[in-house]
Amino acid sequence: MRELNKQDMIDVLYGCAVLGTGGGGPLEEGLSLMKKHFDKGETLKLIKLDELPDDEYVVTPYGCGAPSAGGKNPKFADLSLAEEASSVLAVQALEGFLGKKIYAVGSTELGGSNTAEALHAALEMGVPLLDADPAGRSVPELQHSTYYVKDVPIYPMGVATKFGEKIVLQNVQGDLRAEDIVRAIAVASDNMVGVADHANVGRVIKEALIPDMITYAQEIGVTLREAKEKGLDVAKAIADAKDGKLLFKGVVTEFPWETRDGFNFGEIHLKGEAEFTGETYKIWLKNENIMAYRNGEIDVMAPDLICMIGENGDPLTTPNFDLGQRMTVIALPSPEIWTTPEGLACFGPKHFGFDVEYKPFER
């Protein structure tokens, strides 16, 4: 076990925002959620998988939906907001159902906001955070999880809206059904709900997760911070440090997108600059960046990570940028489990309707 201080947690969230591949929620929301903990000087206990007792329960809290680009929906204007984060309410609902205190929480994916939900829940409930993750990046659908690949049931699961309504799903007929149910609740709740799922004991959890991913995110966050302090190219520094590749530098010329069925779908079109002058780049996204094309040809595809860094060195998330904005696109390698036949069936390009075989990007 080790303790994370304020700077450690900030580095974790910056690294998670890079690994979010455009999704995982805005970093600003994650930092805002953590502000009261930072102001109090709180530290967070981080435990490795082998430190988790076999018989103690772990749950995974997070937000689910399609983050808004801004503005308020008048449909929900008369509803009062809960004082606590919806993901914490979801954990509390599960504790009531299980009749047992949760020993630790884990992240559902690596993202600037969703990982903050796990940090916040751990601090609010006085429990450790697992140094592990079931995605190793950010992902658009609930079944995009190593829990799913390893046949660990998603239920029982708690769902809570930002208006304070709490639901416990005692069982569901598989992760795809859970995705449909939770997504429907999100659509009815201003496109966002808190979820706590995969409530299970340590002996099961330890066999299902990708180890040391919070530490991995922290290392990326430290690389980002130190590169900014030294005036270096942040994107190149991260790619060099983590066996990645600088893919493209350019300016956003088009960004057609829409929120549909609880997801953000869209494309990011870039016009090349510097050494990429005269070239084009396109990214197709479903909440997260899934497919990238250079000059009309496939360049990088999921499950490899397509990450965006702004000209100020900070990670970018969709839909939180504008036409004319400059960015650098880098690729980082997928966690190994996603490149197995089972992993690709769950989270490869064919799952998203692209009739191509997965090919790792060339480093």
What is residue 103's predicted lDDT score, i.e. its pLDDT? 97
What is residue 363's predicted lDDT score, i.e. its pLDDT? 76
What is residue 72's predicted lDDT score, i.e. its pLDDT? 65
Note down pLDDT in tens along the chain; length 363 residues.
999 999 999 999 999 999 999 999 899 999 999 999 999 999 999 999 999 999 999 999 988 776 555 556 777 877 878 888 898 999 999 999 999 999 999 999 999 998 998 999 999 999 999 999 999 999 999 889 999 999 999 999 999 999 999 999 999 999 889 989 998 999 899 888 999 999 999 999 999 999 999 999 999 999 999 999 999 999 999 999 999 999 999 999 999 999 888 789 999 999 999 999 999 999 999 999 999 999 999 999 999 999 999 999 999 999 988 999 999 999 999 999 999 999 999 999 999 999 999 999 987
Kindly report the pTM of this predicted structure. Answer: 0.91
Contact 317, 22 (CB under 8 A): yes
What is residue 83's predicted lDDT score, i.e. its pLDDT? 83
What is residue 64's predicted lDDT score, i.e. its pLDDT? 79
> Do 2-211 and 234-352 show the same overall fold?
no
CA-closest candidate to residue 215, choices 223, 207, 203: 223
CB half-sphere exposure, 249, CA atoms < 13 A: 12
> Cα separations (Å) of 196 from 60, 117, 161, 283?
5, 10, 12, 31
Distance CA 247, CA 274 (A): 13
- Domain ranges within the chain, ordered by starting residue: 2-211, 234-352
The encoded tokens of residue 183 equal 């997504």
Distance CA 204, CA 215 (A): 22
Peptide bond into 333 cis (omega under 30): no
What is residue 67's predicted lDDT score, i.e. its pLDDT? 55
Contact 319, 346 (CB under 8 A): no
What is residue 75's predicted lDDT score, i.e. its pLDDT? 79
Q: Which fold, 2-211?
A: CV3147-like fold (3.40.1610)
Pairing of strands 57-65, 104-105: parallel
What is residue 68's predicted lDDT score, i.e. its pLDDT? 55
What is residue 253's predicted lDDT score, i.e. its pLDDT? 98
CATH hierarchy code of domain 234-352: 2.40.390.10
